[in-house]
């Protein structure tokens, strides 16, 4: 927000320069972004009057002007086209200095003496944004009022006359301090910072004898807590006074006419947005504040038609809509040069409603930017009377007696109780309670100190004050953060340790990266189409999405329920970029909605790979190595034929008792087609929590065996559908404690094995921990194993 210092000085006697003032304000929480100095470099530039203009005798494009600068008459030669006899203009006299270091001296132009220079706004260093549009080109033509005589203004320092002899301070106003979006708000902060008293504008309204007769009906007090209005007759729409235009321009607003300028001036001064309606364009004798009807339209002051809905608030008369409440007026009630009677609106609107409406219709204004942050409802009457005062003082109209004010639920001041001792402990300093009370009173809080307790009555304009922490912040910033004593940090330090879950994550990552599988990271918010791309049915719990309230788009509108779509997207990207080998894993969270409030959040591990020569068993080996590293034992690999994401004959579940720890296999061709992949891809998804449950990090060591081992090889011909696991289960169940280990070393299919069968060869190692085994003892156990294989699996020993 731009704050001209000369405007702030009306309310606070600032006795420091702009730089020091800015630093002090920043240190008390009102951050200054920039300081712009007006007129600082201008020397010996005065107000002059053009008495006579003659053509230059030797130059068609130059003119010779006789100029009165008060103390003397001088001659100036110029090429300006916009000057006339009788104009008042800025004159840089001999020895003058202009912004940028330009020195003006007497001289001759094409033989004619020129004793100075007429100045444009640009040459005076005044930014274009701070100049009326009609004065931006050519020499700056000065307007002046009859309050001063010609003798008073001629020769006057241009900086004083144009009021460009001070600084403009730009403040960054945070959203929690809407009370500072005004000159009075900044002045309150300045008074507390400088420890001086604040002077409020003295407001008194000179009213006519005619009483105001007009009604206000509020149909939705939740969206409009207060609405007040005054009537002005005998309106004269004209340019506003120079001093007002100047302040508006320096505060970043464009002057329009006296009525609009006065409402904008009061908004900038007090922070209360206002609006003026042409009363003759209002039908009936009531203003009605109501919600819009669904699909209702209004043409706003920018000549655009706005379509509204039933959540938006309108200002209407008895037949038509007049304005979108708190945002912009309608074109059908606009003040123009023919306006003779005004209805001045000063109202308060709910910030949430204004913010939602402004966003929905794509329209923001100076008024809406204030309302959407919050405006004190108790400011309505003050601002309304201030507008009336300025209209009367500038001769812009006659104020009717009285005003209408509909305020069904007046807002009262909040009370906060705080402990002085607690605030000191949090600050790490010792500030007396009396000192705290004095600081808070400088911010216009009412304070009562009772022993260690401060009872605080918060002014209604401080919408941000709710809790003890807010009071603490006020004390700290006014006391001065740089005044708070510095102390070395003290306390008991403890060593930070990772949790069991974090250590388990590290183990998984270490093992997989050691196996050549790279870690990937993807977003948790995804498109709901992802589960469809991996062929998950609509009845699956994977469709129980947790939806985002404010998504960036449909592609990131829900939380993921599985990691496989993310993995497939990464694999698809790598494949499309001609990456010949990919092996990656992600350890991340999935979210399953059980109700609309709290989802089930679970960690999962997803592994994906493709490579020339890789197959189902490549991935199986990685998963088994991972489980072995984590100490997860007793798991079985069970074929899975019903998982629609995977190839029906190349998919398996990892099962431990009644728990399924994960699923892995080759991705179904239909899924690969959805991702435009024309190669085999293998993916595993594992349940992190179940893996952690079954993991055992305890390692049991056994002494080296004392007795020798004996080995036997066995080659069996079994049917093709017999699984190796079935063979191994029979060997394990019939080992009688003597089979130390066994190993599959050959699987053969060929001419020597009949069709539909395969040859499976194992090496068995026998050993006893108590004695040296004899051939007879080994043979006895070996024979039982062979017999069980033959009887249970119809296996035959291969010759």
Report the distance separating Cα 328 and Cα 343, nearest Å.
15
Residues forming beta bridges with residue 404, ordered by sequence position: 229
Q: Is 670 annotated as a binding residue?
A: no
Contact 505, 602 (CB under 8 A): no
CATH 3.30.930.10, the chain: domain bounds: 500-694
Q: Is 170 annotated as a binding residue?
A: no
Report the distance separating Cα 156 and Cα 144, nearest Å.
12
CATH 3.50.40.10, the chain: domain bounds: 207-406
Fold of 2-38+166-194: Phenylalanyl-tRNA Synthetase; Chain B, domain 1 (3.30.56)
CATH architecture entry for 710-797: 2-Layer Sandwich (3.30)
Considering the domain 207-406 in this protein, what is its CATH number?
Answer: 3.50.40.10
What DSSP designation does 120 have?
B
CATH 2.40.50.140, the chain: domain bounds: 43-161
The pLDDT tens digits for 421-463 are: 999 999 988 999 999 999 999 999 999 999 889 999 999 999 9
Parallel, antiparallel or unpaired: strands 313-316 and 286-291: antiparallel
Q: Is 464 annotated as a binding residue?
A: yes
What are the helix (H) ranges across 339-419? 351-361, 366-371, 380-393
CATH 3.30.56.10, the chain: domain bounds: 2-38+166-194, 414-483
Q: Which long-range contacts (CB under 8 A, 24 or more apart) does 574-580 make?
A: 575/610, 575/677, 575/679, 576/676, 580/611, 580/612
Report the distance separating Cα 291 and Cα 300, nearest Å.
17
What Å distances lie between residue 590 and 387, 666, 689, CA to CA?
59, 22, 12
The pLDDT tens digits for 521-555 are: 999 999 999 999 999 988 888 999 998 888 888 89
What are the φ and ψ backbone dihedral angles of 600, each rounded to 5 degrees? -85, 120
Angle at 288 between CA 284 and CA 291, to 5 degrees: 140
Residue 147 has what pLDDT? 46
Q: What share of the chain is helix, strand, coil (3-state, %, to 5)?
A: 30, 30, 40
Considering the domain 500-694 in this protein, what is its CATH number?
Answer: 3.30.930.10
- State the CATH class of domain 43-161: mainly beta
Report the distance separating Cα 525 and Cα 589, nearest Å.
11
Q: Is 770 annotated as a binding residue?
A: no
Residue 723 has what pLDDT? 86
**Nearest residue to 267 via CA among 398, 379, 152:** 379
- Residue 782, Cα to own-chain centre: how many angstroms? 74
What Å distances lie between residue 215 and 287, 320, 690, CA to CA?
6, 16, 71
- Ranges of the chain whose pLDDT falls below 70: 129-130, 144-150, 595-597
- State the CATH class of domain 414-483: alpha beta
User: Would you say the pTM of this structure is higher than 0.75?
Assistant: no
Report the distance separating Cα 579 and Cα 586, nearest Å.
19
CATH 3.30.70.380, the chain: domain bounds: 710-797
Residue 161 has what pLDDT? 84
Angle at 130 between CA 127 and CA 133, to 5 degrees: 105
Residue 495 has what pLDDT? 83
């Amino acid at each position: 927000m731009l704050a001209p210092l000369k405007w702030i000085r009306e309310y606070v006697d600032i006795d420091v320069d702009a730089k020091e003032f800015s630093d002090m304000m920043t240190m008390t929480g009102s951050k200054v972004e920039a300081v712009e100095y007006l007129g600082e470099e201008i020397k010996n530039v005065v107000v002059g009057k053009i008495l006579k203009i003659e053509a230059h005798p030797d130059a068609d494009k130059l003119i010779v002007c006789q100029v009165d600068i008060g103390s003397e008459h001088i001659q100036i030669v110029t090429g300006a086209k916009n000057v006339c006899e009788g104009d008042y203009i800025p004159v840089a006299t001999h020895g003058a200095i202009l912004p940028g270091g330009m020195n003006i001296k007497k001289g001759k132009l094409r033989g004619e003496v020129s004793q100075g220079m007429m100045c444009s706004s640009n040459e005076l260093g005044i930014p274009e944004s701070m100049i009326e549009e009609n004065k931006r080109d050519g020499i700056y033509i000065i307007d002046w009022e009859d309050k001063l005589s010609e003798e008073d203004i001629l020769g006057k320092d241009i900086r004083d006359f144009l009021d460009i002899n001070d600084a403009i301070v730009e403040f960054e106003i945070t959203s929690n301090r809407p009370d500072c979006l005004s000159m009075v708000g900044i002045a309150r902060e300045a008074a507390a910072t400088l420890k001086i008293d604040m002077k409020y504008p003295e407001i008194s309204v000179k009213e006519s004898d005619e009483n105001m007769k007009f009604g206000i009906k509020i149909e939705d007090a939740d969206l409009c807590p207060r609405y007040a209005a005054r009537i002005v007759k005998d309106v004269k729409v004209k340019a506003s006074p120079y001093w007002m235009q100047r302040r508006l321009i320096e505060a970043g607003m464009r002057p329009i006419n006296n009525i609009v300028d006065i409402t904008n001036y009061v908004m900038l001064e007090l922070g209360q947005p206002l609006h003026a309606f042409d009363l003759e364009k209002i039908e009936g004798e009531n203003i009605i504040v109501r919600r819009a009807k669904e699909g209702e339209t209004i043409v706003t002051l920018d000549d655009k038609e706005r379509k509204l809905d039933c959540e938006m608030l309108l200002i209407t008369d008895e037949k038509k809509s007049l304005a979108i409440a708190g945002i912009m007026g309608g074109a059908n009630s606009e003040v123009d040069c023919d306006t003779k009677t005004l209805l001045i609106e000063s109202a308060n609107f709910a910030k949430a409603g204004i913010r939602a409406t402004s966003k929905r219709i794509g329209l923001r204004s100076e008024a809406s930017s204030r309302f959407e942050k919050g405006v004190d409802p108790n400011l309505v009457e003050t601002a309304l009377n201030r507008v009336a005062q300025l209209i009367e003082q500038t001769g812009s109209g006659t104020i009717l007696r009285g005003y209408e004010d509909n305020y069904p639920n007046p807002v009262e001041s909040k009370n906060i109780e705080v402990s002085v001792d607690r605030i000191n402990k949090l600050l790490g300093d010792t500030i007396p309670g009396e000192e705290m009370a004095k600081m808070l009173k400088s911010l216009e809080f009412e304070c009562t100190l009772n022993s260690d307790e401060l009872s605080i009555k918060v002014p209604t304009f401080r919408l941000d004050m709710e809790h003890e922490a807010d009071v603490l912040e006020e004390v700290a910033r006014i006391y001065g953060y740089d005044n708070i004593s510095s102390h070395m940090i003290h306390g008991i330090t403890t060593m930070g340790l990772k949790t069991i879950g974090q250590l388990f994550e590290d183990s998984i990552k270490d093992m997989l990266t050691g196996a050549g599988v790279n870690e990937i990271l993807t977003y948790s918010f995804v498109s709901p189409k992802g589960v469809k791309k991996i062929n998950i049915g609509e009845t699956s719990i994977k469709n129980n999405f947790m939806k985002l309230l404010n998504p960036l788009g449909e592609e990131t509108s829900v939380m993921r329920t599985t990691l496989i779509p993310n993995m497939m997207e990464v694999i698809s990207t790598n494949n499309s970029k001609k990456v010949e080998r990919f092996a990656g894993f992600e350890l991340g969270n999935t979210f399953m909605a059980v109700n609309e409030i709290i989802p089930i959040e679970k960690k999962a591990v997803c592994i994906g790979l493709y490579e020339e020569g890789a197959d189902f068993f490549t991935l199986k080996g990685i998963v088994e190595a991972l489980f072995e590293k984590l100490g997860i034992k007793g798991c079985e690999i069970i074929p899975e034929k019903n998982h629609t994401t995977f190839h029906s004959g190349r998919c398996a579940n990892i099962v431990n008792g009644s728990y399924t720890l994960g699923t892995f296999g080759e991705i179904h061709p239909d899924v690969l087609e959805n991702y435009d992949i024309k190669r085999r891809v293998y993916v595993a998804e594992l349940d992190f929590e179940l893996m952690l449950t079954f993991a055992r990090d305890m390692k049991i060591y056994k002494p080296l065996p004392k007795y020798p081992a004996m080995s036997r090889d066995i080659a069996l011909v079994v049917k093709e559908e017999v699984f190796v696991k079935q063979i191994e289960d029979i060997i394990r169940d019939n080992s009688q404690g003597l089979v130390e280990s066994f190993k599959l070393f050959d699987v053969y299919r060929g001419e020597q094995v009949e069709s539909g069968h395969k040859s499976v060869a194992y090496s068995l190692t026998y050993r006893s921990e108590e004695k040296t085994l004899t051939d007879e003892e080994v043979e006895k156990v070996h024979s039982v194993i062979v017999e069980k294989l033959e009887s249970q699996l119809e296996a035959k020993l291969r010759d």
